[in-house]
Structure 1
Amino acid sequence: MAADSLLLVARIGKPHGLHGEVTVQLHTDDPERRFADGAVLATEAVAGSGVPRQLTIRSTRVHQGTWLLGFAEVPDRTGAESLRGTRLLADVSDDEPDDDEQAWYEDELVGLSVVTVDGMVVGEVAGLESRAVQDLLVVRLSAGGEALVPFVEQIVPEVDLENRRVVIAPPAGLLELNAE
C-alpha cells in the first residue's frame, strides 16, 4: 500500500467482550464496504506497541449503535487491548471516483484555514468527528481553544481544497457556545 493513497477510516477504542473485538470511532461514510470480511487495513500505532502493520477484518457488527470489529490477527481481549488508539487506514488508490462532490476525508480537511463568509479568519481545522446524526469540524480557534462546527451545508457552505480554506457561516454564538 502506497502511503499517499492511505486515508484514515477509523480509530480503535476499547475492547469489547472476550473474543478480540474492539469498538471503533468511524471516519468513513461507507463502513459496510471498508470493513467487509477479509478487508485488509493498514495500521498506524505508537512505535514499539507491537501492533501489526496490517489487520484483516474477521467480523463486523453494530452493537447498540457502536461499530465493533474483530481481526484475524487478534484472537482475544488481551490482544484487543493492545490495539487501543490505533488508526486504521484504507488504501483508496483502487476506489472508484466518488460522484458525491460533497465528500471529504479528514486528512484533506486538517490544516485548512477556517474563515467566515465575510473573510474573517477564525482558525484552522484540527479534526473531524463523525457522529450518528452529522459530522463536526473541530476548529482550533485563533483566539485560543477549540470549537465544534456542524459540518452541514448551511453552516459550512464551501470547502476550497485548492485555496486550502473552509468557509463557514456560523449562527450567532456558535463558536462561543462550543468553545472548549
Structure 2
Amino acid sequence: DWLEIGTIVGAQGLRGELRVLSASDFPQRFTEPGPRWLQRSPQSPPEPIELLRGQGIPGKNIYVVRLAGVSDRTAAENLRGAKLLVSDQELPELAEDEFHVAELIGLQVFDQATGVCIGEVIDLRTAGNDLLEVQPLDPDKPPILIPFVKAIVPVVDLAGDRLEITPPPGLIE
C-alpha cells in the first residue's frame, strides 16, 4: 500500500531541515508541499506528516526538506534512517515504456530466444542506467544485474507478470 520515496540521511543546519536520499524519479515528491507519510522504523506504522518545502542539491540524489513539527537539529537527527512514503494510489502518470519500480518487482524474467525462465526481479538499481536485479531460480546463485534498456529488455508485460530479455553473451552466465 506504500511506496518509499526516500530515506532521511541526516540533518541540514540547525532549524530542523532534513537531508533525504531520493528513491523516486519524481522530484516533485520532495519539492511540492503536501501530505506525505513517515515510517520511523521498519516495525512502526506509517504516520502522516506534512512536507512544507524542499529543494534538490545539484548533482546529487539528495533533497533538503522541511517537515511540519521538525523545528530543530535534534528533532531532525532523531529521524535519521526514517523513510518517507506516499500511498500507492498517488502514482504519477508515466509515458509509454516507463514503469514504476513497484510494478517491476516480482516479474518473472524469461530469455526471449529460449523461453526459459531465468528468475525474478527483486529490485531496480540506478547506476547511470537502471539495472534490474534478478534473483535466479537457483537460490544459491547471486543476483544478476541486467541493464534495463529496450535493446536488452524488449518486452515488459505487466498483465502477464513477466518480462523478456535478449541478453548479450556472458550476461547471464
CA contact (8 A) 1:122 1:141 kept: yes
Which amino acid in the other structure matches residue 74 of structure 1? Answer: V
Greater shift after overlay, 120-129 or 133-142?
Answer: 133-142
Q: Which among 139, 142, 164 is matched to residue 137 of structure 2?
A: 142
2:151 corresponds to 1:154 = yes
1:8-47 alignment to 2 at 5 Å? 8=4, 10-18=5-13, 19-27=16-24, 29-31=25-27, 33-44=28-39, 45-47=41-43
CA contact (8 A) 1:15 1:77 kept: no
2:48 corresponds to 1:54 = yes
Shift of 1:93: 3.8
Which amino acid in the other structure matches residue 115 of structure 1? Answer: F
Shift of 1:161: 1.1
Identity of counterpart residues, as a percentage?
31
TM-superposition CA deviations, 1:132-154 (whole Å, max 9, x none)? x3222111122321122111111
Q: Which runs of 5+ in 1 are unaligned?
A: none
2:77 corresponds to 1:75 = no
**Larger-gyration structure (1/2):** 2
Alpha-carbon RMSD across the aligned residues, in angstroms, is 2.6
Partner Cα separation in structure 2 for residue 68 and residue 96 of structure 1: 19
Give 3-state SS (helix, strand or coil) of 2:172's partner. Answer: helix
Partner Cα separation in structure 2 for residue 90 and residue 16 of structure 1: 21
Partner Cα separation in structure 1 for residue 22 and residue 150 of structure 2: 23
Give 3-state SS (helix, strand or coil) of 2:133's partner. Answer: strand
Give 3-state SS (helix, strand or coil) of 1:135's partner. Answer: strand
Shift of 1:122: 1.0
TM (norm. structure 2) is 0.78
Instruction: Say how many residue pairs are matched.
Output: 165
Shift of 1:13: 4.5
Q: Which runs of 5+ in 2 are unaligned?
A: none
Partner Cα separation in structure 1 for residue 126 and residue 49 of structure 2: 22
Note closer, same or farther for the CA distance 1:60–1:47 as it changes in structure 2 (3 Å cut).
same
Partner Cα separation in structure 2 for residue 108 and residue 91 of structure 1: 14
Shift of 1:55: 2.9
